[in-house]
Amino acid sequence: MKARQGTRKRILDAAGELLQRNGFSGFSYQHIATRLGVKNAAIHYHFPSKTDLGVALIRRYRANFAWWIDQLESQGVDPVGRLEGFFDLEERYLREGKVCPLGVVGVEHAGIPDSMRRETEVFVGELLGWLTRTLDEGARRGVMTFDGTSDGKALTVLTSLQGGLQIARVGGPEAFQRVVDQLRAELGMPVERALRRVSAAG
């Protein structure tokens, strides 16, 4: 049983890497099999169709994000720290030469299977819900300021980050950093907090 679970995890790891580098339509079971040194049948055992694999990948991203949120809450991280952590998550994709999973399936949304599309829509809803709650709390505590509604600003933050990652693939990582800096300015987030984070990372 453990061996089967280990194989399933390895398949998801490889598929996730390929998804974020080549897109969902840019890889096949043969690419995964070659990378892992297994037969296609081993992949089909765990994921009978590529649709099953795609749905499992999105559910995995959802589970990982839910775990990350739980960690922040258990550590008592404040709204500014939570948002800075989210900026870090997105920037990590850039450092690793990957595209955010939402960016990948967003571009391919019309062409991915219906079940995968629905799973992605749920994921986006969960992410926007978390951003909205974080902005709401930040405003109540007086550590964030913004015009309009919190849900509207959440959508602006998410689309700005996604667009920044896409532009950075052409214009370089400094383009993404400028987007993040602009978001911080618009939200009235403390610059010194960001500088301490950068210094610690260096």
- Residue-level pLDDT, tens digit, the chain, 202 residues: 555 668 999 999 999 999 988 899 999 999 999 999 999 999 999 999 999 999 999 999 999 999 999 999 999 999 999 999 999 999 998 888 888 888 888 888 888 999 999 999 999 999 999 999 999 999 999 999 999 999 999 999 999 999 999 898 888 889 999 999 999 999 999 765 544 443 333 3
Place of tokens 């505590």: 141
Confidence (pTM):
0.87
Q: Which amino acid is at 11?
A: I
Class of domain 51-201: mainly alpha
Among 186, 164, 194, 166, residue whose Cα is nearest residue 176: 164
Tokens read off for 49: 């169709």
Q: Where are the domains of the chain?
A: 1-48, 51-201
Place of tokens 């969960």: 126
Q: What is the CATH code for 1-48?
A: 1.10.10.60
